[in-house]
Amino acid sequence: MDLVDKAGNIRKPADYRDRYQALGTFSVVDLNGDTQLHHTYASPETAEYYRKTGKFADGTVLVKEVFGTDHAKMTTGDAHWASGPKVWFVMIKDEKGRYPGNPLWGDGWGWHCSADSPESKCNGLQERLLGCHVPAKTTDWVYVQGYPVLASK
């Protein structure tokens, strides 16, 4: 796992926008009424493996980017498109419990994010404890309903 050092610290993959597969996008209206686009990529072959087994393979990497949006009336309607990236999140599937005692790792995944804005500084344990991914516990902590490519054809 070259994205992880011996201590279990996680870094964002360098080339995910070119090499990873697009899983899908959530459009989220935040508390200020602004539309964000949450775009998720997965390491190669994630979708094929998931469609065959209903599982994420050990070592699967998910990268989520949160974008602000611009919008305008277009011939298709009130269109919103991604503008400046705000924050990213990385999850790495770990079936072996490789980093016991490291708070970034738990529930079968490694969790890491990096935020430009200090107030949303995050670390794995604290955020996971917030329970934000609990609603997705039955689908291995991932909101698979947002990713059509994971649905069996």
Select from 63, 70, 66 the least CA-distant residue to 115: 66
- Which residues 6+ apart lie within 8 Å of 94 measured at CB? 58, 59, 105, 108, 109, 110
Question: Considering only CA atoms, which of 116, 118, 24 is closest in space to residue 63?
Answer: 24
Q: Verify binding: residue 150, ligand HEM, rule CB under 6 A.
A: no
Residue 46 interacts with ligand HEM (CB under 6 A)?
no
Residue nearest to ligand HEM (CB): 132
Piece of 44-52, 76-84, 94-102, 125-133 that binds ligand HEM (CB under 6 A): 125-133
Does 89 sit near ligand HEM (CB under 6 A)? yes
Q: Is 91 helix (H, G, I), strand (E, B) or coil?
A: strand
Q: Total number of residues binding ligand HEM (CB under 6 A)?
A: 22
Stretch that binds ligand HEM, among 12-20, 43-51, 70-78, 87-95 (CB under 6 A): 87-95
DSSP state of 4: B
CB-wise, 72 or 131, nearer to ligand HEM? 131
Q: How far is the CB of 88 from ligand HEM (least distance, A)?
A: 9
Candidates 56, 92, 105, 124; binder of ligand HEM (CB under 6 A) is: 124
3-state secondary structure 9-67: CECCCCCHHHHCEEEEEEEEECCCCCEEEEEEEECCCHHHHHHHHCCCCCCCEEEEEEE
106 sits near ligand HEM (criterion: CB under 6 A): no
Stretch touching ligand HEM by CB under 6 A, among 12-20, 43-51, 52-60, 132-140: 132-140
